[in-house]
Amino acid sequence: MAQEHNPNSSTQPVSYEAAGVSIEAGDKAVELFAPLAKRASRPEVRGGLGGFAGLFALGKYREPLLAAGSDGVGTKLAVAQAMDKHDTIGIDLVAMCVDDLVVCGAEPLFLQDYIAIGKVVPEKVAEIVSGIAEGCVQAGCALLGGETAEHPGVMDPEDYDVSATAVGVVEADELLGPDRVRDGDVIIGMASSGLHSNGYSLARHVLLERAGLPLDGHVDELGRTLGEELLEPTRIYALDCLALASECSVRTFCHVTGGGLAGNMERIIPAGKVAEMNRSTWTPGPIFRYIQAVGDVPRDEMEKTFNMGVGMVAVVAPEDRDRALAILAARHIDSWVLGEVRPAAEGESRRAELSGAHPQF
């Protein structure tokens, strides 16, 4: 019987590359970012790149508790892709993971990343990984491994997304958390470097879509282009928090991300207590004032969407207030007393509240 001819068939040989995935490009990307990944290591790392699993010697602990957290960077990626600048988004990725770990006092040990991309361009992947490696160096953790997945037909060739999982460790008797918080504890704020990695859907809607502002346009209020401001990397506080916890009686930390300052503080303050904070103790950075002015965004919406200039919070024993501020100052972290913890009044339901007004805002 004669073989039927399929008129829709192509004369091009069937191959993975014909389907849109280039193994050669993937190998080239690994070759480019391997030296970058080696920067982010620790003595506990065993083996090297190329294995099926990353190996890490946990070491000797009395009663270790492992802490793990996964995150991404949200729609900040859209700004990086629009500007074709990819070497800082990895810092944001690391920050979002490791600064969640340190809230409970855990030291970040290692991180593994996942990059999904429409088309592997080795140089672009190497840029992304360079930022991840830099973030791991800043956090003192190892980049233990990761995955780059090419998704032709599912993602546009220029698009990509990143996520990661970080793992840390804390001794059981040194675990920080709401159960340690006491009446009279001092709430110390640590300045953010800008928007960090939250609220970009609102920021892009206000600045780019409604106002039509160009990313490469210089903004006098910001002292640089809008794109440069929006791509300012998230500050990584992990090592600063660990140093603070080793020298002071820290009850817990609070990583201020989506939900804002009050929303995140409610996660670390126990029932029956109120975290009372005053806006008059700090002035939000220019980018927050700019977004509010351009978009006429209500204060409540600003405060539940953005960090408003406070990236991390430490709750410390009152006798360690001055020592904590001095330690953070020595580590070049702008910090100040936000408020204090008090017992909740009868019938009071709110566990974190802001009062007063920001100066010059």
| Domain co-membership, 341 together with 266 | yes
Which of 316, 309, 320 has its CA nearest to residue 354?
309
Whether residue 129 sits in one domain with residue 190 = no
Of 112, 147, 171, which residue is a domain's last?
A: 171
Share above pLDDT 70 across residues of the chain, in percent, rounded to a whole number: 88
Rounded CA-CA distance 165/113 in Å is 7
Please give the pLDDT value at position 55: 83
- The string over 100-116, giving b where at least 16 C-beta atoms fall within 10 Å of a residue's C-beta and e elsewhere, is bbbbbbbbbbbbbbbbb
**Same structural domain for residues 117 and 191?**
no
Q: Which two tokens stand for residue 256?
A: 């201020």
Global pTM?
0.89
314: alpha, beta or left? (left if phi > 0; alpha if psi -120 to 50): beta
Residue 305, both tokens: 């969407």
In this structure, is residue 211 part of a structural domain? yes
Q: Are residues 127 and 248 in the same domain?
A: no
Structure tokens at 195: 């928007």
Q: How confident is the model at residue 33 (pLDDT cuts 50, 70, 90)?
A: low
- What confidence tens digit (pLDDT) does each residue in 136-145 have? 999 999 999 8
| Distance of alpha carbon 38 from alpha carbon 31, whole angstroms | 12
In this predicted structure, what is the pLDDT of residue 124?
92
Do 216 and 183 share a structural domain?
A: yes
Q: What CATH number is attached to the domain comprising 145?
A: 3.30.1330.10
Contact indicator for 194, 315 with CB cutoff of 8 Å: no
Domain boundary among 117, 140, 171: 171
Tally of domains in the chain: 2
Do 187 and 277 meet the contact criterion of CB atoms below 8 Å apart? yes
- Asked if residue 1 has pLDDT above 50, the reply is no
**Domain's final residue, options 114, 144, 171:** 171
